Structure 1
C-alpha cells in the first residue's frame, strides 16, 4: 500500500515537472506565435502589431510585449491609435495548454492614446465592428432597442474581461506634423471582471498643468455603452475645481442625464485660467459652489433646486442651459438673501480678458460663445463697502452684445440705477455706461469709489451717461461722448477753504490747490452740467453757493493725460464782502493729482 502511495506521489511530481517545463514551450508555440496579437485585435477591433519578440514568464504566467501598436484596419499606412512601450499580460495557464489565450490582467507601460481633432472636439478612431467589445456593445444596443425601459440584463454577453492598468500614460493629438499632449502622467486602473458586471475606473493625471483625479463607476456599463439608461457615479477632483455626479445616464445620441450635481471651485478666476488660459479682468471671484438636480441631454440641461454660492452670496432658483453648438446659452432666475455685486460685475465684466498667446478665447467671453440671460434679486447686497437693499439686476450676453443692469436698488440713503452695455460686433469694443442716483448721500458714494477729496458731503442726485471704445475703463473714458450732471443740497466740501483761497489770491501768485486743504467749505447747494466729446469734458455749468459767495467754473477737463484747464469766478452781492468789489477771476491748471491756481484780483481789491 505504501509502495502505491509512493508511485502516485512520483507521478504527480513528474506531471508537475513536465507542466512547468512544457508550459513555456506550449505558450511560445501556441500563444505567442499564433495567439496574443490575434486576441488583442479580436478584443479591440484594431490592427495589433508586435514590433519586438515577446517574453514569456511562467510564474506568474505572463507575456511581456514590447513596442506594441494598435491602428486602424481601414488605412494603408494608418497612424497608431494606441502605442505602448511595453504591455504585460497575465494569462490563464490552463487555457494556454489548450492553445487558448485568456487574459486576466493587462498592464500598459507608457502608452499613448492618440485622438483626432481640436481640443474642443476630440474623437477616437473607431474600431472595427467585428471586435469583441464592439459586438458586445451592439448586442447591448439591440437589447435596449427591444425594451428601452427594462432591457434583459440576463441576455448580456458575459465574457470575462479583467483588469487593465496603465502606467505613465499620455493622451495626445496632432497639430499639423507636431504631436501635442493633452493629458500627461496618467496612471490608473479599469476594473471590469466581466462584461455583464459592474465596472469602475480610477485615474490620476496632469491636465493644463494641474493634477486631476477621476473616479467613475456603473453597475451596468455595457447597457450604458449600448445607449441604455444605467446608474453612474462620477467624481473629478483637482485644485482649481471639484465635480461630482450621482444619478443615471445614457450614452445614446441624446446623452441623457438625471441626478445630483455638486460643483465647487476656490476661485472662478483660477478655474477660467486653468480651463481656457485666460485671465479674467477685475478682482478675484470665489469661492464658487453649485448644487442642483440636473436633468436633460447634451442639447439642453435644466438645473432644478439650484443653490449657487459666489463669494459668500448664496442664491436659489432655476437655471436652463442650452448646449446647441451654433449658440449655447444659460438662462434663469436666482434669488439671494445677500449678493456681492462686485463679484457679479467682475464675473460678467464688460471688458475683454487678457488671453495667453496661442490659446482661444473662452466660450463665455467671445461673440461665438455662450449667451446669458440671467436675472437676480436680493434682499441685501454689497458693492465693496456700499450696502444696498431690494436689488433687482440682470445680465444679458448675446451676439457680441452684453449688458449688466441694476434696474432698481435702494442705496446711499436713496435710489440708484446702473447699466453697462458692451458691443463687440465691430472692430472696436463700444462701451456705454449709465448711472442714475436720486437723493443719495454723495459722501457715501464718494467713499465707495475712493474719491472723497473735493466731493460735496451732501445729499444730491447724479446722472452719468457716457459712450466710448476700449477694453478697459480708462480707455473708454478717454474716448467717451456723453453727459454728466449733478445737483447737491446743503452740506460741505472737504479740502477747500474759501478764506485761504481769498488770502492767497490777495498775494497775487500761483499756488497749489493743496494749500487750501485745511477745513471744509460750507455750501447751500451746487450744480454741475458737462458734456463729453472725444474724452474731453466741457463744463457748461458748475456753480456752488457758500453763504453770500457764488463760485462758478467753466472750461475743459480731458480724461487722457488727466489735465485741467478751468476758468472760474468768485462773486458776492454788493457790500457782502469788501474784498470782492468786482468778481475775482482765477484759473485752475495742472493735473488732477496736483492742480494749481492762478488768481486775477479786481483792481479795487489790489489797491487795498
Structure 2
C-alpha cells in the first residue's frame, strides 16, 4: 500500500480542480442566464402552474422580473385568477406580486419548474359549503389531489400522477373573504401573513397563519401528516392551535374540519374574558358579566350522537373542577350537556347567572327560536368542598342542574351550612313571557347567631341554633321578578338563645309611664328565651306574621301583623305574657302596637280590654 504522503497531493489537486470547475460553471450559468432563459417562457410557465393548480385561469398584466442571484427567481405583478370564461369568468382573487424560485437548468431546456412561492398582498375570496369544506369546484391539481387522497394503514396515500413539488409558501399582507353558506355570513380577514412548509402534495404540512378580523389579531398554527385528507373533510392526524387576546385553543389528535365524527385527541380552551369574546363574536348576552373566565382541558373523542370528554380539568372564574362531560344531539337537533364535576371551591353565582340566562335566551330581544341557548339541554352533577353563594357559604355540597326546553331545576341535595345541613330546590319555567319559578329551602340545626353576626345584621334578631323552611313562588320569570312579585311561606324554629337589644322588663316599665317609646329605649339588655317559633306568609311585597312566639323563662313574647319589607316599615300587634300560669298575676298580659320602621321602630302600649295575646287565639 502506498503511503498517504504519496497519493494525498494528487487527490487534493483533483478535488480542487473539480470544485473550481463547478464554481466556474455556476458563475457562467448565472452570467449567461439572462441570454439563455426566455422571460416569456418563465412567465407562461407560472401562468400554467397557477391555472393547473387552481383549476381557474391566471391572468398576468405586469411585466416579469427575472433574478439569477443568489438563486433563479421570477417576480410577476398584477395577477388575477378567474373562472374559465365558459363558466362565468368569476374572479377568485388578485395578487399584487408573486415571486417563485425556478430551476435554471430546466428553464434553459425550455421548461419551467417552480418552488418557494411568495405572495404579496393577495386578495382571495373562498366559499365554505354546508358541510364546512372549502368549495374546490374547479378541478385543478390541488382539488384532484384532495378528492383522490385516501387513507391506508393510518397513512395518507396519493396517486403518484397527482403528486407534485410545492416547497414553501409565504404570504404577506393578504386579504381573505370566506362566504359561509351554512350561516349566510361572510368572514373578512385582513393583514394575512402565512408561512407554509409543504415539500410535496403527499408530504406532511406545517403552517403558521396570522390575520386580523373584527379588530382582533389571530394566530393559527397547523400541522398534519395527512393534509389532503384534512382538506377533503376526512379525519386524520392533526395538531392545531388558535391564539388571540380573547381565546386560546389547542387540539392534538385525530380530527377533521367538516364534522366531529371520528374525533379523538386532547384539547384545551382558555377564555380570559367571556363577555368580551361574546361581544366580539356578535353574540353578546346581557347580564353575563359574572361569567367571566372559562377554561377547559380534556381528552375528547366522538361517541354516539355526540362527544365525550374524559379527564376534564375545568376552570370557571378561578374555581377549578375535575370530572367527565358529554355532549349529545338528539333527533330533534337539540344538544344535551351532561356530566359530573368535582370542585375544591366554587362560586355558585356564575352558575345561577347561566341558569337564568339559559332561560332568558327565549325572552324579549332573542330570536324567534330562542337563540342557541334554547337549543341546549343541561344535566350536570356538581360537588364542592366549599361553595359560595354570596353572602352565604356552604361546605361538602352535592348539587345538580337540569335544564330542558322550557324549564330548569337546580337542586342542592346535601350541604353543610353554618354548622347544620341545608337542602334547596330552585325551579324556573319559561313560556311566552309568563313563565315563573319556585324556590324551596330547608335548613336544619344551623347557627343563625353566627350567621347574623357575620352578616352584621342590625336590630333585635333571634341569636340561636334552629331550623328554617322557605317555600316561595313567582308567576314572573325569575330573572325579572322583584321582591313584590314573590309569594310563599316561611317557618323558623329555634332553640334556646337570646334577642339582643330587647329588655322585656324595660318594656313593661316604659309601658306604665309612656304612651309610646322607641325600641332603643328598651334595648339595655337581651331577652333570653328557651324557644322561638315564627310562621309568616309572603305576598304582594309584604310579610304577614301569622304567629310569632318567643318563649322565655318568665315571659313569652308574641307578635302578628304586616311587615312591608320593601319599605322596611312595620305594622305589628304584640304582647308580653307570663310563660307560666302561676305568674300571670305578677306578669299580666301587656298588649302593644309596633309601628315605624326597622331597625328602630316605635312601641305603643294598648289598653287592656278583654284582649288575648296576639297569636294565641
Question: Could you tell me which residue of structure 1 aligns to residue 121 of structure 2?
Answer: 109
Question: Could you tell me which residue of structure 2 aligns to residue 191 of structure 1?
Answer: 197
- Structure 2 CA distance, aligned partners of 1:113 and 1:447? 66
TM-superposed CA distance for 1:111, in Å, is 3.0
8 Å contact kept, 1:418–1:435: yes
Superimposed CA distance per residue, residues 212-239 of structure 1 (whole angstroms, 9 cap, x where no aligned partner): 3321211222243345553221222334
**The residue matched to 2:449 in structure 1 has which SS?**
helix
Superimposed CA distance per residue, residues 540-584 of structure 1 (whole angstroms, 9 cap, x where no aligned partner): 22233344343333333345x434342222222399699976533
Question: Could you tell me which residue of structure 2 aligns to residue 160 of structure 1?
Answer: 165
- Match runs of 1:493-508 below 5 Å: 493-498=499-504, 506-508=513-515
- Structure 2 CA distance, aligned partners of 1:54 and 1:516? 102
- Aligned CA distance change for structure 1 residues 452 and 424 (closer, same or farther; 3 Å): farther
Q: TM-score, normalised by structure 1?
A: 0.79
**The residue matched to 2:464 in structure 1 has which SS?**
strand
Work out whether 1:137 is the aligned partner of 2:141: no
Question: Could you tell me which residue of structure 2 aligns to residue 127 of structure 1?
Answer: 136
**The residue matched to 1:130 in structure 2 has which SS?**
coil
- Structure 2 CA distance, aligned partners of 1:341 and 1:396? 18
> Number of aligned pairs?
573
- Structure 2 CA distance, aligned partners of 1:297 and 1:545? 62
CA RMSD of aligned residues (A): 4.3
8 Å contact kept, 1:31–1:100: yes
- Match runs of 1:348-427 below 5 Å: 348-351=354-357, 367-379=373-385, 381-384=387-390, 388-427=394-433
Superimposed CA distance per residue, residues 56-108 of structure 1 (whole angstroms, 9 cap, x where no aligned partner): 34356232333645569886474x55455x23221415355525462421324
- Structure 2 CA distance, aligned partners of 1:42 and 1:439? 81
Deviates more, 1:326-335 or 1:571-580: 571-580
TM-superposed CA distance for 1:422, in Å, is 1.9
TM-superposed CA distance for 1:412, in Å, is 1.8
Question: Could you tell me which residue of structure 2 aligns to residue 308 of structure 1?
Answer: 314
- Match runs of 1:66-465 below 5 Å: 66=78, 68=80, 76=88, 78=90, 80-84=91-95, 86-92=96-102, 94=104, 95-97=106-108, 98-100=110-112, 102-109=114-121, 111=123, 113=125, 115=127, 126-141=135-150, 144=151, 147=152, 149=154, 152=157, 157-172=162-177, 182-207=188-213, 209-226=215-232, 229-250=235-256, 255-266=261-272, 276-278=283-285, 280-281=287-288, 283=290, 286=293, 288-296=294-302, 299-310=305-316, 313-323=319-329, 326-336=333-343, 338-342=344-348, 345-346=351-352, 348-351=354-357, 367-379=373-385, 381-384=387-390, 388-446=394-452, 451=457, 453-465=459-471
- Structure 1 CA distance, aligned partners of 2:52 and 2:569? 82
Q: Which runs of 5+ in 1 are unaligned?
A: 1-7
8 Å contact kept, 1:281–1:352: no
Q: Which runs of 5+ in 2 are unaligned?
A: 1-21, 610-617
- Aligned CA distance change for structure 1 residues 536 and 198 (closer, same or farther; 3 Å): same
User: Which has the greater radius of gyration?
Assistant: 2
**The residue matched to 1:524 in structure 2 has which SS?**
strand
Deviates more, 1:163-172 or 1:190-199: 163-172
TM-superposed CA distance for 1:154, in Å, is 8.0
**The residue matched to 2:481 in structure 1 has which SS?**
helix
**The residue matched to 2:50 in structure 1 has which SS?**
helix
